[in-house]
């Protein structure tokens, strides 16, 4: 079933768990993520990030996400990840996305507030959730992260009326190992001055134990996971291709990846679920 980000994160906030925002690149991983969520009986957030949108147009992605949501009993959020313009966010809303994330984190503080608030109003008027980001989250081997200022986070959350807030607390995009660690002291200060669900981008670089702990013991209700699953997909694809060098049909090759990817995704989902599950 198709739901909004607010639907799943408010429930997670009240019941001390987190939901995985899984970065998608194509039909094969989308199917695997939803099947894993079905088997774990938990919600899942399908995310179309910039690289996904370069490969497949938003109208097509919207239909793919909606088809998968309509054909499963678990809650599925169709989410635009890192929308960088009002136009892009409007297109996503018009294409059936139930949630959008506007990333104004590299703009000035006031510009970020003003633009995020405007886009949030557009989303809410269409019954769509909106996530914003305060404090730029950098990239492994690229620009460094800028830590989120708690007082700015408080004002940002209030003035924009967003449903979820992505923060920079030691997390880094595209981190291949799990040597990163979140600044729990900064998280606690942010929690004291804001009451909306918090989001961690670059979740692949965070040790699983810390993901689990913060899912159950903080207001972090969403961990974005991309690199971890993309790396696994690539490794599995190499194995499938080399298994039989005479095979050329990509449907046959990709079919070998499905079950391992479902199992890998289930492990990620399990680490974020409530204790009683």
Q: 25 lies in a domain?
A: yes
Domain containing residue 20: CATH number: 3.20.20.70
pLDDT tens string 25-67 = 999 999 999 999 999 999 999 999 999 999 999 999 999 999 9
Helix (H, G, I), strand (E, B) or coil at 261: helix
The 3-state secondary structure of 234-245 reads HHHHHHHHHHCC
pTM of the model: 0.94
Q: Where are the alpha helices (DSSP H) in the chain?
A: 5-15, 27-40, 50-55, 58-70, 86-94, 109-125, 150-160, 184-193, 208-217, 227-243, 250-270
Q: 275 lies in a domain?
A: no
pLDDT at residue 171, as a whole number: 78
Backbone torsion region of residue 127, taken as left when φ is above 0, otherwise alpha when ψ lies between -120 and 50, otherwise beta: left
Closest by CA position to 67, among listed 100, 59, 263: 59
Tell me if 199 sits within 8 A of 79, measured CB to CB.
Answer: no
pLDDT tens string 6-31 = 999 999 999 999 999 999 999 999 99
Please count the structural domains in the chain: 1
Active site amino acids: 81
Q: 12 lies in a domain?
A: yes
Q: 259 lies in a domain?
A: yes
Expressed as residue numbers, the domain containing 263 is 2-270
pLDDT tens string 68-126 = 999 999 999 999 999 999 999 999 999 999 999 999 998 999 999 999 999 999 999 99
pLDDT tens string 173-232 = 666 666 667 889 999 999 999 999 999 998 888 999 999 999 999 999 999 999 999 999
pLDDT at residue 174, as a whole number: 62
Q: 144 lies in a domain?
A: yes
Q: 276 lies in a domain?
A: no
């Amino acid at each position: 079933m198709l739901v909004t980000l607010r639907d799943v994160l408010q429930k997670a906030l009240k019941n001390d768990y987190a939901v995985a925002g899984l970065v998608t690149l194509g039909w094969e991983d989308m199917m695997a993520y939803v099947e894993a969520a079905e088997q774990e009986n938990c919600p899942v957030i399908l995310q179309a990030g910039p690289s996904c949108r370069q490969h497949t147009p938003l109208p097509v992605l919207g239909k793919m996400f909606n088809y998968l949501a309509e054909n499963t009993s678990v809650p599925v959020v169709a989410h635009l990840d890192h929308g960088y313009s009002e136009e892009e966010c409007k297109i996503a809303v018009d294409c059936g996305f139930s949630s959008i994330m506007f990333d104004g984190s590299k703009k000035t503080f006031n510009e970020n507030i003003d633009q995020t608030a405007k886009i949030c109003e557009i989303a809410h008027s269409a019954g769509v959730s909106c996530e914003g980001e305060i404090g730029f989250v950098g990239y492994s081997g690229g620009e460094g992260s800028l830590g989120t200022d708690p007082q700015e986070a408080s004002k940002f959350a209030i003035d924009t009326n967003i449903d979820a807030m992505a923060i920079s607390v030691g997390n880094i995009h595209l981190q291949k190992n799990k040597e990163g660690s979140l600044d729990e002291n900064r998280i606690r200060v942010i929690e004291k001055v804001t009451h909306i669900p918090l989001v961690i981008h670059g979740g692949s670089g965070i040790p699983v134990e810390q993901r689990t702990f913060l899912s159950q013991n903080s207001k972090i209700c969403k961990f974005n996971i991309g690199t971890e699953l993309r790396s696994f997909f690539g490794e599995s694809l190499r194995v499938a291709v080399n298994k039989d060098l005479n095979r050329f049909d990509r449907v046959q090759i990709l079919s070998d990846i499905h079950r391992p990817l479902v199992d890998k995704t289930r492990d990620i989902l399990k680490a974020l679920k409530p204790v009683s599950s």
